[in-house]
Amino acid sequence: MKHTISVLFENKFNAIPRIVGLFSGRGYSIESISFGQGEEPGLTRATITTEGDEQIIEQIAKHLHKLVDVLKVVDLTFEPFVERELALVKVNSTPSNRAEIMQVTDIFRAKIIDISPKTLTIEVTGKSDKVNAAIGMLMQFGIREIARTGSVALKREYQGNM
Amino acid sequence: MTQKNSSQSKPTKKAETKKMSGAEILIQTLVDLKVDTIFGYPGGVVLGIYDVLYKTPKLKHILVRHEQGAAHEADGYARATGKPGVVLVTSGPGATNTVTGIATAYMDSIPMVVFTGQVTSSMIGNDAFQEADIVGITRPITKQSYLMRDVSQLSQVINEAFHIATTGRPGPVLIDLPKDVLSEQTEYKKPEKIHIRGYNPTYKGHSQQISKAAQMINNAKRPLLYVGGGVNTGNAAEELRALAKKGNLPVTTTLLGLGAFPEDDPLSLGMLGMHGTWYANMAIMDCDVLVAIGARFDDRITGRMDTFSLNSKKIHIDIDPSCISKNVPVDIPIVGHVKEILPELTKSVKVANSKEWLESITKWKKDHPLRYDQTDKEILPQFVIETIARVTNHDAIVCTDVGQNQMWSAQFFKFKHARSLLSSGGLGTMGYGLPAAIGAKIGCPDKTVFCITGDGGFQMNIQELTTAVKYQIPVKIAILNNGYLGMVRQWQELFFGKRYSQTILQEGNPDFIKLAAGYGAVGMRIEKKGDVESAIRESLKINDNPVLMDFIVKREEMVMPMVPAGASLTEMIEGGE
């Protein structure tokens, strides 16, 4: 099953390679991984999506936690959490299909951020499955290049009382 | 401590503001950390450090003959003394030669700090002469590693490295030192208190878990303590003894756990696992409460996992949470340091209701003892080991290589003292024995130190004989010479139709006696059973030189009992007469 793990760590020399190396060295899979500055200078948050049964995920979390530079490891999978991914998709476009592409873009609440006589570049954000769906719909026009960030995620705080 | 030891000869009153080079700071910091010995080998980029060492006689530097030897010697020193081993080597090949030694220490949780030289910062990444990305190469086999960029941080980082190496689950830490950082000058500051936000190993066990565990033990009918290297590294042999005695609990140990509980105690079952005793393996399969203490359910212990100790509830005490439920699901995990947890547990443990159990164990021990053919006219390796044990009153430190010599030592020496068996358990490094023995003897000069090795393993770090001769380190080297790569041959005999592919060493072996003479060591060849004891006694009289004893042993003797790889512990081959 797919898991989303959030790791907060001191971004010292060698910290990122240690996190990534743990996965390759112990044979765990990484579906996506993203790094960005955390809530304090010097802290980085990684969001890792990985596959594995309960025992493997437990081992992953423990080994991540064991790394000297790691402060906090949370497996968000079984908690309510918010998750977003951003993708830039460059598709072939001609004057004749430009309107159609823009329509698809609108449906996914995506944005066109670059245009050339032969291409459009579209920015899509959302949960990974939405990004996948948008890319799927854009496929028919001919995709030239894709750049995706991988998921970033945080635990959802307000859980409502309905 | 003051800086009276720093290398600057000009007397200055204002020592606080005096500038020191990176190399001087390194040595000063080691002196301040009370490091007494470093194992190393010089080279281009670390010349500056060696120049400072030249002026610092109180810090003993052991010049090895190969950097792998330095790492194993530091490891042997650490295992024997409990203090961290320190290694100093140059960049590139100097650094890469330490890799096997670092991996050995990592697998067995041995505290070690390795200093490697590195090319000048501006050259890093340019494929400079003798450049290797040693931080990258050693990333999976170090607990933490650093590439020094800023000399002002050096002292602090070294202190941090020693802290990390020696606390929690111990392990090797590497510091890579670019040449320019070593020559740069800065003020030497005493390091501040170490605070690493992400590193707070748990020492105290959870009290509720401990009382649950005690209750489980008290209700057990067939309890068993399964003890690993953690009790040796955690200096908790006394605490273990107290627990076993109070609860009348039988004890089996792993290879690295040997010595943590005296094997002459009636509660001892010796070693378990692939070449463990019959009775230890039966006990672990039959027990109803299994208490794992500083052990990690390694595959050499459990045999076929899905058959392992199915009827027992399991308690697991370990400092490393990632060891718990890694291989075997556990009912009561207790994370913390054995030295803190065992006394707490002992308080609440009562004498277990286990009379019948202890009786059946006693019967097993009587019916299925470790044995070998005492009447054989040839020298049997087991006999050599038993004789060494008897002559030294089980009080020697024994360093082994890997394979048959290692397993026979584990089976027949009957260890009584913690930290008295030094052996590469996790990585299984051939060539470990001799350098480890040198390191152990340097760390414990009052102890008799034996290296029990084979004709294969001995040759893997044979160059360290020079080190032992040069420093007059009187280690006793017992080569169990069967002319084979014995353990591999044993597997070939049992599982590969006696096809001895590339395991016959005899024709290529050197004359070990001439070799000892060439190195300047004392050599003896022992070909008759009747000469074994006198040779060992003779070796004990020599106190200023290593002694090499070439025991010509029965060639095709096998280590028994044995659990074939992948088989269940109940499927032991007992062998024997």
A 121-140 → B contacts, CB under 8 A: none
- The beta-strand segments (E) located in B415-559 are 421-422, 449-454, 476-481, 522-526, 547-552
Short-list B244, A154, A128, CA closest to B236: B244
> What tokens were used for B376?
């054989």
AA identity, residue B323: C
* Residues of chain A contacting residue B107, judged by C-beta atoms under 8 Å apart: none
Per residue in B63-102, is it b (16+ CB within 10 Å) or e — as a string? ebbbbbbbbbbbbbbbbbbbbbbbbbbbbbebbbbbbbbb
Predicted pLDDT at B134: 98
Catalytic (active site) residue B430: no
Which chain A positions have a beta carbon within 8 Å of B109's beta carbon? none
Catalytic residue among B179, B313, B339, B476: B179
Rounded to whole angstroms, the Cα distance separating B273 from B369 reads 15
- Taking an 8 Å cut-off on Cβ atoms, the answer to whether A21 and B140 are in contact is yes
Angle separating helix axes A54-66 and A15-25, nearest 10 degrees: 150
What pLDDT score does B16 carry? 55
**CA end-to-end span of chain A:** 29
Nearest CA in chain B to A56: B326
What confidence score (pLDDT) does residue A158 get?
82
Two tokens, residue A90: 């460059």
Using a 10 angstrom Cβ sphere, with 0-12 exposed, 13-18 middle and 19 or more buried, the burial of residue B413 is: buried
Q: Tokens 């977003």 identify what position?
A: A84
Numbers of helices and strands, H then E, in chain A? 4, 9
* Range list of β-strands (E), B308-408: 313-318, 332-335, 397-400
Cα B388 from Cα B395, distance rounded (Å) = 10
Interface pTM, i.e. ipTM = 0.89
Q: What is the mean pLDDT of each run of 10 residues along chain B (577 residues)?
A: 45 63 97 97 97 96 98 98 98 98 98 98 96 98 97 96 98 98 93 92 96 97 97 98 97 98 97 96 97 95 93 97 91 97 97 90 96 95 98 98 98 98 98 98 98 98 98 98 97 96 96 98 98 98 98 97 93 77
If one counts every other C-beta atom within 10 angstroms of the C-beta of residue B129, the result is: 11
Q: Give me the DSSP letters along B178-191.
A: EHHHHH-EEE--PP
Residue range A76-99: mean pLDDT, rounded: 95
Q: What share of chain A is helix, strand, coil (3-state, %, to 5)?
A: 30, 40, 30
How remote is the C-alpha of B304 from its chain's centroid?
26
Give the model's pLDDT for residue B266. 96
Q: Which of A8, A13, A20 to mutate to test the interface with B (most CBs of B within 10 A)?
A: A13
Q: Cβ separation of A18 and B143 shorter than 8 Å?
A: no
Q: In DSSP terms, which residues pair with B226 in a beta bridge?
A: B252, B292
B42, B49, B41: which is closest to B71 by C-alpha?
B41
Cα(B41)–Cα(B71) distance, integer angstroms: 11
Interface of B with A (CB under 8 A): 135-136, 139-140, 143-147, 149, 164, 196-199, 320-322, 325-326
Shortest Cα distance, chain A CAs vs residue B174, angstroms: 12
Q: What is the pLDDT of residue A159?
A: 73
C-alpha gyration radius of chain A: 19
Provide long-range contacts, Cβ within 8 A and 24+ apart, for B570-573. B570/B281, B570/B282, B570/B285, B570/B307, B571/B303, B572/B278, B572/B281, B573/B494
Q: Is the pLDDT of residue A161 over 80?
A: no
Element (H, E) at B457: none
Give the span between the Cα atoms of B464 and B68, in whole angstroms. 10
Which of B558, B551, B513, B516 has its CA nearest to residue B530? B551
Contact between chains at B145 and A14 (C-beta distance less than 8 A): yes
Res. A162 pLDDT band, cuts 50 70 90: low
Chain B within 8 Å of A39 (Cβ-Cβ)? no
Residue B313 annotated as catalytic: no
- Distance of alpha carbon B546 from alpha carbon B440, whole angstroms: 13
* Contact (Cβ atoms closer than 8 angstroms) between residue B90 and residue B45: yes
**Cβ contacts of B357 within 8 Å, gap of 6 or more:** B221, B222, B223, B250, B287
pLDDT(A37) > 60: yes
Residue B17 confidence (pLDDT): 63
B67 annotated active-site: yes
